[in-house]
């Protein structure tokens, strides 16, 4: 490409990118061990790649997905830190279901919003 050439991020590429973080969130709560923990690292890479996408709507939806995931992960830290010793052993299924009940509807709602939104091609100058 020449210095004045332009690349195009298609509307479909932007729409697909906007959904990635939410799909990761859903997978992280559907298969919590080991995906919830692995998604913590993977989500940082995903966030870094998508937050500053040439299409600002991709960054917006990525940031919302990050709020959901990091909020839930942040909530689990004090819960599991200060819970009684046998809490996780006895109530892990309850905790897992609670996380899924929180994360899945929020992520599905955002995916539906992404799908309904009108997306446009974005031109990027190099």
What pLDDT does 13 receive? 98
- Reduced to 3 states (helix: H, G, I; strand: E, B; else coil), residue 8 is strand
Q: Are 62 and 21 in contact (CB under 8 A)?
A: yes
In 3D, which of 45, 109, 33, 43 has the Cα closest to residue 71? 43
Q: What is the mean pLDDT of residues 117-126?
A: 93
Element of type H or E holding 44: helix 32-50
- pTM score, whole prediction: 0.91
pLDDT in tens, 91-105: 999 999 999 999 999
> Is the confidence at residue 1, as pLDDT, over 80?
no
In 3D, which of 99, 111, 107, 102 has the Cα closest to residue 26? 107
* 30 CB-contact burial (10 Å; exposed 0-12 / middle 13-18 / buried 19+): middle
Mean pLDDT in the chain?
94
Domain boundary assignment for the chain: 6-125
Long-range contacts of 108-112 (CB under 8 A, 24+ apart): 108/22, 108/26, 110/22, 110/61, 110/64, 110/65, 111/19, 111/22, 111/23
């Amino acid at each position: 490409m020449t210095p004045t050439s332009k690349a195009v991020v298609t509307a479909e590429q932007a729409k697909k990118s906007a959904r990635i973080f939410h799909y990761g969130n859903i997978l992280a709560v559907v298969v919590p061990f080991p995906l919830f923990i692995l998604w913590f690292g993977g989500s940082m890479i995903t966030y870094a790649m998508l937050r500053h996408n040439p299409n600002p709507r991709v960054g917006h939806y990525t940031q919302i997905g990050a709020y959901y995931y990091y909020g839930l992960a942040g909530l689990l830290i004090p819960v599991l830190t200060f819970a009684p010793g046998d809490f996780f052993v006895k109530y892990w299924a309850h905790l897992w279901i609670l996380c899924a009940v929180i994360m899945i509807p929020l992520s599905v709602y955002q995916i539906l919003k992404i799908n309904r939104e009108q997306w446009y091609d974005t031109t990027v100058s190099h």
